[in-house]
Structures are given as C-alpha cells and as structure tokens.
Structure 1
Amino acid sequence: MTSDVRDAPETVEIDQTTARCDGGGALGHPAVYLNMGSKGWVECPYCDRKFVLKEGAGGH
C-alpha cells in the first residue's frame, strides 16, 4: 500500500484583486489571471495555489 501524501497548496497574500499564476518553476502551467471579486480570495484551477487579499488592501 502506497501513500500519496502531498504538501498543502501554497497561500500567497497579494495587494490587488487580480492574481497571475503560472505554477512557478520550469514545470509550471500556462499563465492565468484570476479575479477574486468580492470574496477576498481565489484559487488557481491548475495548481490550487490560493491567493488572498492582504488586510487593508483592495486595489486593482
């Protein structure tokens, strides 16, 4: 029996409501721009990296 244990996806604090994610590194994924809207966070559909709005931020 093998265990497929993965690290939790990274959480990145940003100071704007739009995030750009490319997965990082040489083996990332296509760059995507993600809009968090009024939620204050958004997850990348490719790598599950979570982007959260820094406290007090809210610019574009």
Structure 2
Amino acid sequence: MRDPNFTGYTPNRVSGVTAEEVITVTSRHVPCDGGGGALGHPMIWMRIEGEEITCPYCSRTYHLAPGTGDDGHH
C-alpha cells in the first residue's frame, strides 16, 4: 500500500521525519544532487507544482519564493 504522504515519486515534507533543510528557489524547475560532490546522489530535476517539493533521495525541500512566476509553462 502506498504511503499517503507521497505524491508520485516525490514525498511531501513530514514534520520530525524529513530533514529540516529548506531551500528557497525562484524557479519551478529545480535540480538536486544532494550536495557534497561524490557523497551526494545522481542529479535529478524536479518540478514544483504547488509551493514546495522534497527530493526523494536526500529529503531537501525546495520552497518556491512568494511572487515567483510560472516559468512560462516550460
């Protein structure tokens, strides 16, 4: 049974479980490689549909800055 806190492949932030690191971004398309060079993970690109998205590898959460546009539907 699928965890109700997951949407597609990307988990939602869960208080007390997900890392507290939140990165504010100005684009709906965000890359994540886990940081740390070789100690990170493969780079993936994620699209923020609502206000934030959490990386399924490292649990970093990317939050869309207020007033940010829609990236021209690309």
The TM-score normalised by the length of structure 1 is 0.78
Structure 1 or 2: more helix by fraction: 2
Aligned partner (choices 34, 42, 49) of residue 60 of structure 2: 49
**What residue number does 1:31 align with?**
43
Gaps of 5+ in 1: 1-7
Structure possessing the higher radius of gyration over alpha carbons: 1
Gaps of 5+ in 2: 1-18
C-alpha RMSD of the superposition: 1.9
CA contact (8 A) 1:41 1:50 kept: yes
Between 1 and 2, higher relative CO (CA 8 Å, sep ≥ 6) is seen in 1
Distance 1:44 1:57 in 2: 20
> What is the aligned-residue identity percentage?
37
Distance 1:43 1:22 in 2: 12
